[in-house]
Structure 1
């Protein structure tokens, strides 16, 4: 299998990378608690963690309100298209936020197989995102093409058509080769079925795409969000009986565990299991944390997010490590890095999502924040927040990306 760190196929380079990674991790662990990370208390106060983080982005111009409110900007204009045209400085603000808050890796929603045409290597959304991708790469930010297969999480179409992820991979690979300065690092699937009956369909889809990438030598990486529920579900697939999470990791270059739980010890346990397995099979795994307000969404939904815990912190302590008697969200995030960063299978921490993380810093969602500014526009040159040098990162990027 190909080496997935910067796409090197040389054993010697892999060894060198491993040594460098271990040394970097050691350096980080010495300084993780003493780094001058935060010049608070809020807003555009720089947050500088040495292990740069990742972030999921669904709607980069998110606003308070229902789905319809989040689809439009100033009337009936499409929010996503307006973002990529940098309407009212929304794209500039996103980049400034990433550089101000140590976000180096972004899983950016691109499309749904159910509603998009990926045939013949077509990637319409990639063309819409082209200038965004070029600027992200210039700024040291790595972008992954995130997608659904179907709006129905448990759709049987995964069983009926096992070429879906393959078609997406081929379309993104073709786009990368045509526009290398606007390349995606990989594709990230957020289809997380709940019914075991359709698990083989997702696995077959993923394995077919993985085998194509491996056989063609493409430097595109396959990634998938992993559910905690899958730890406790074993199935026989492809001749082997394993947990669903292990089967998924076998078919991927990279995965992101949705470690959505507000009990630190549970997060540590889940993280160790996924990272240890990734290390064992020579893959990478990131660890994700939830910040959304999930109150009343489903039974015990509040236990899956740190929303309440973070909001309970004062502006003076919210983003500090060791700031209270209890284990805070930042305490937990730092502890995961401390425990896992010495392992070759660990990638980085991921935050769900941009809109919620932005809210925790600014008390507003991105579009609402912009519309509250003078002139209802974000001016990056005037605002000019402190920047984190994203390419200075103790965790090497997984796959080809910004240098």
Structure 2
């Protein structure tokens, strides 16, 4: 057995030990009560659960993990026509590199040669664009708060609401879906959720609908290599690929990272303002475009704008760092603010924000509530749940009613709280 295969085999043999050690560490500082994984928990790595695709110097690198040691395969198709075909050696970890195909997208078929159930298909988009952040009237608008890796519940909710079909494809036509940040951390299937949303984003736009992914504090933490809340299973994906976990979402090379970093931190749909934590009057000085442009600059250029040892450059870097930290991590940051649910924000401040953006409602996540609820006589709706992805907000243009959809498909009107 060669060294690479031995390393991978030993990694999986040590999986239960590593998982429990990392899980114990990850519990430190948890604000949310999370049960320990059961002994029969299934840690899936095959297909999009462990897929890593990046673009480096005009070439595409595809890295995938098979359910068991086997020879692998990868086929690249463009407009349903074969472009490349590869076979990989007997292993758990597989990697192929090829010249970037022409055109805006291509499809990869990949997996295990012997196991038909371990065969997968993913469409890769090469043209990453900044999405719009301001929309007019939308007939039906679905909103989910912090998902935190809860893939199975997410699929159940989207299926129950007839947003996706049994093949996980978009069937909601012109409806809109808002994911209000914090896809990352805590749960075991973050990577799989990201690939699902990545596919639905493309499908929804082709159908005349939209999937809006709004960035939250846990996306930013991952970009910045803060893994304080990253689940042991997710960290193992990076371990198996032999790279630090954030490398899987590098904003310059990773396909998922490029896509995610292009997403906004603030959007407006009709008369509703959406942000992960909440917008205070201080940040209301930003237009929606200016806010999202600033976010993109900070994500693109990282902690320091200039690494030169020159003193003037060092001062500029210090100022840059302070601005970046306040914008992304400050207590009043749009990604961290909790004042609209936890007492601290006056209704006058809320009115200033709503008036500035010409909105009547502000939908937020980040601050945990037992159930999706209205505050300030319905001017604020909070959607971050103690148990993630167990309810989904539904807003309709036909009337003032707001609804929440449960996992079992039941629908009820929201209850307002002061």
Give the greater-gyration-radius structure (CA): 2
Q: Which has the higher helix share?
A: 1
Q: TM-score scaled to structure 1, two decimals?
A: 0.32
Q: Which has the higher strand share?
A: 2
Q: TM-score scaled to structure 2, two decimals?
A: 0.31
> Which structure's relative contact order is higher, taking Cα pairs within 8 Å and 6+ residues apart?
1
